[in-house]
Amino acid sequence: MPKKKAPEAVKHRSADPNVMGLRAEVLEQPITQTLEINYMPYAMSVIISRAIPEIDGFKPSHRKLLYTMYTMKLLSAGRTKSANIVGQTMKLNPHGDAAIYDTMVRLSRGYGALLHPFVDSKGNFGKVYSRDMAWAASRYTEAKLDPICAELFRDIDQDTVDFTDNYDGTLQEPTLLPTTFPNVLVSANQGIAVGMASNLCGFNLQEVCQAAMAYLKDPQCDLLSILKAPDFPTGGELLYDGNVMSDIYETGRGSFQVRSKWRYVKAENVIEIYEIPYTTTAEAIMDKVTELVKGGKLKEIADMRDETDLNGLKLTIDLKRGSDPDKLMQRLFKSTPLQDSFSCNFNILIAGMPRVMGVREILEEWTAWRIEGVRRRTYFIQKKKKDKLHLLKGLKKILLDIDKAIKIIRDTELDAEVIPNLMIGFGIDQIQAEYVADIRLRNINKEYILKRVAETDELEKEIADLQAVLDDPNKVKAIITGELKEVMTKYPSPRHTEIVYEYQTAAAEDPEEDIPDYPVHVFLSREGYLKKITPASLRMSSEQKYKEGDREYLRWDASNRDELLVFTDRQQCYKTRLADFDDAKASVLGDYLPTKLGMDAGETVVWACVTADYAGHLLFFFENGKAARVELAAYQTQTRRKKLTGAYSDKSPLAAAWHLKEDLEMALISTEGRCLIFHTAVLAPKTTRSTQGVNVMTLKSKYHLESALPLTSTNIQNQARYRARSLPVAGALLKAEDRGEQQLSLLEE
C-alpha cells in the first residue's frame, strides 16, 4: 500500500538570516496544528461569545447592555443620555462604544426592529425599513428600559441564573437573563459566526405564550394551530404554505414569502405602499423599480417617490392613465423586493453547543431551563425562610424563659462569654444565640413574643408549601403558566403581519404581462396583408396602401395585447398576439399572414377577428343556408396553442362570419336575390367549434347564400318585408330600393 503523505507544514525562519555565522534552522509545524492553536480559539469565541443567541433569546452584547441599564436603575427611573449608558456598558463589554451603541439602537423602540423593543428611546434612532436613514450620535439621544424588561430581570437576585466575572474580574454579570416568556421565539435575531450562522424570526407574544402553555400541558400538542406563523414589526403579508411552515417548525430550517401591503387611491390614480417585508428597505425597493422603469419594463409607472413621514412608511407610485393597479402590483411582487423571502435557521446555543432546532425543540429546551430557574428561585426563597425560622426557633426557646436569659447575661463577666453561655443554657447554636443577644430591651414584652411565635407557625407552613412545589413538577409548571398568563395580560400584542392563505403565486403569473399595452388600429386586406398602426402614426398619414387589385377587408380598433384569430379556407384557426406584429405605417403593405403565421401551402385567409378576453360568440354562415353560433371561449386554450384544426364546419363553404358581442338582427342575401332578416337570439350557442349549425335560409339547388351583414349596415328600407316569423324560410326578393348602391361584403366595423 502507498504511504500516506504527512500533513503540510508551515515553515518559520529567523528574522536574522545568519545566526552565529550560520543559516537559521527551519522550524516545521503541521498546518492542522497551526489551525488548532491559532484559529480554533477565535472560531469558538465568535460562536460562543458573540454571534449565536442563547436560550434566553440574547447574544452576550444584548445581555451586557440590558443588565448594565438594569443596574443603572433605568427600569424605573427616567431616561439618561445614551452616551452614559454606552460608557457604563464598557465595564462589561470589551468592545468599542460604536459597537455598543449600534446594539442599543437595534433594541430600541425608535428603530423598530423588534416586536417588543427593550429600550424606550427618545431622539433619532433611525428605522429598520430604511437603509440610508442614519441614527443620531449617542450624545444626542436618550434611553431607558422598556417596561417589558421587568419580565427579563424578574427574581434575578434570587439565584435564578448563574453569574460570572466580567472580562477584568471586577464585576459580576449574569450568564443568562431569567425571562418569564420564551423571548427566543419573540425577538428576531440574526448572527454570522465562523462556519455557521443563525437567523431567527419573531413570533407574536400572545401566540408564543399560548404555545408554551399548551406545550407544558401536552408536549405533543399541535403547535401550528396555536403558533400560526411568524410575525414581523414591519407588518406586510405572509404567504402561508402549510407544508413549508410545518417543515420549519420541525427542522428549524426553511423559507417563506412576505410581501408588501398596498392600497390604490383612485381619486389620485396612485398606489401607496405602507408596509414592506422585514428583510428589505424602502431604498432597495425604489432602486429596483427605477431600474425597471428605465429599462422600459414598467411603462405603467409615471413616477415613484418616498413620502415617509412621522406617520410611518409610505412609498407612492403615480400610474399612467388606463393602468391596471392589480396587474402592476403582481409584476412588482415578482420582480422587486416588494415580495421577499425570509430564510429560517434556528441555530441556538444550548449549554455552550450550537444546535439547529425546530420550534418544538426550542420550547422543550426553554421549558426545561425555565423549570430549573423556578426551582432554583423556590429553593432560594425556602432557604431564606428556613434561616429565619431557625432564628425564630432559638428566640422562642429563650422567650419562654426570658428571666433565665437575663440572669445568664447579667451573671456573665466577659462579653465574649455571653454567646457561649446562652448556647449552653438554652441548647441553641451560635447563630441563634447571636440573634437573641442583639434583641433590644424594649422587645422583651408579651406582644412581641406572641407575634414571633405566630410568625414561626406561618413560616413553617410557607416552607412546607415551597417544599411541595419542589417535590411536584406539575406545581412548577403551574407557576410558569401563571407567569405566562400575566405576561399576556400586561403586554397585549395584536399581530403586525397578516397571514394570507389564498394568494396568486408569482409562478402562476402570465409571463407575457410584460407586453406593453397601448391602442392600435389594425387593417386586414382581401389578400391577407395585415397592418398594425398606432393612432399617432395614423393621424400623420391615413391613406392606406395596398397591392394592385387588393383592398381593405376588415379593420379593428384594438389594444396591443389583444389576440388575433385568423380563419382559413381549410377550417383552421391561427392564433397570435397583435404584439407579435411590428408597428407599421399606412404607406406600407404590412405583414403577409400566410407567411407570418406559417400556414400550409396554398392555404388562404377567409376571415379574422380580434379579442381581448374571448367574450361573445362567433356566427358562421355557410353557402348551404345554415348558420352556426359558437362561443368564442371555445377557441381559448391554456397552453397558448398557435394553431387549431376543425375551427368550423367543413360540410359547406363559408359564406360569411361575424363576431357577435351582443344579439342583433342580421340580413342574409342569396345569389337568387332573396333577403332574410332574423334576430340572432333564436340561434342557440354551441361549444363545439365544428358544429354544422341549423338551417336558417331555404335555398334552391342552383343558388347559395352569398353574404350576411348586420341590418344596421345595410340600406334595406322595407325591413318588415324580409323579417322571418319562423326559421327556416326562403326570404323575399329584394326590391330595387332595398338593394342600394352599397356593395354587401364581410366588412366588420
Query: Where in the sequence numbering do the catalytic residues fall?
Result: 140
Q: What is the DSSP string of 407-432?
A: HHHHH--SGGGHHHHHHHHHT--HHH
Neighbour tally for 75: CB within 10 Å: 18
Beta-bridged to residue 530, according to DSSP, are 524, 591
d(CA 76, CA 119): 13
d(CA 350, CA 366): 10
At 748, which amino acid appears? Answer: E
CA atoms in the 13 A half-sphere facing the CB of 392: 19
CB 301 within 8 A of CB 328: yes
d(CA 501, CA 202): 19
Buried b (16+ CB within 10 A) or exposed e, 158-171: bbbbeeeeeeeeee
Query: What phi and psi values does residue 405 have, to the nearest 5 degrees?
Result: -65, -40
Contacts (Cβ under 8 Å, ≥6 apart) of 446? none
User: Beta strands of 334-378 (E only): which ranges?
Assistant: 339-345, 347-350, 353-356
Of the candidates 407, 299, 572, 270, the one whose C-alpha atom is nearest the C-alpha of residue 418 is 407
The packing angle between helices 242-251 and 359-399, to 10°, is 50
Instruction: Kindly give the residue spans of alpha helices, DSSP state H, lying in 586-698.
Output: 593-596
d(CA 104, CA 149): 14
Residue 336, phi-psi category: left (phi > 0), alpha (psi -120 to 50), beta (remainder): beta
> Reduced to 3 states, what is the DSSP secondary structure of residue 272?
strand
d(CA 51, CA 190): 8
Q: What's the length of the chain?
A: 749
Buried b (16+ CB within 10 A) or exposed e, 557-577: ebbbbbbbbbbbeebbbbbbe
CB 47 within 8 A of CB 193: yes
712: which 3 cell numbers?
Answer: 344596421
Per-residue DSSP letter, 230? B
Cis peptide before 147 (omega within 30 of 0): no
Beta-bridged to residue 557, according to DSSP, are 521
Distances (CA, A) of 579 to 11, 51, 293, 428, 466: 69, 54, 20, 104, 81
d(CA 723, CA 732): 9
Instruction: Kindly give the residue spans of alpha helices, DSSP state H, lying in 542-604.
Output: 593-596
d(CA 560, CA 661): 20
Question: How far does CA 261 lie from the centroid of its chain?
Answer: 10
Report the relative pairing of strands 189-192 and 22-23 from DSSP bridges. unpaired
Contacts (Cβ under 8 Å, ≥6 apart) of 58? 66, 176, 177, 183
CB 550 within 8 A of CB 537: no
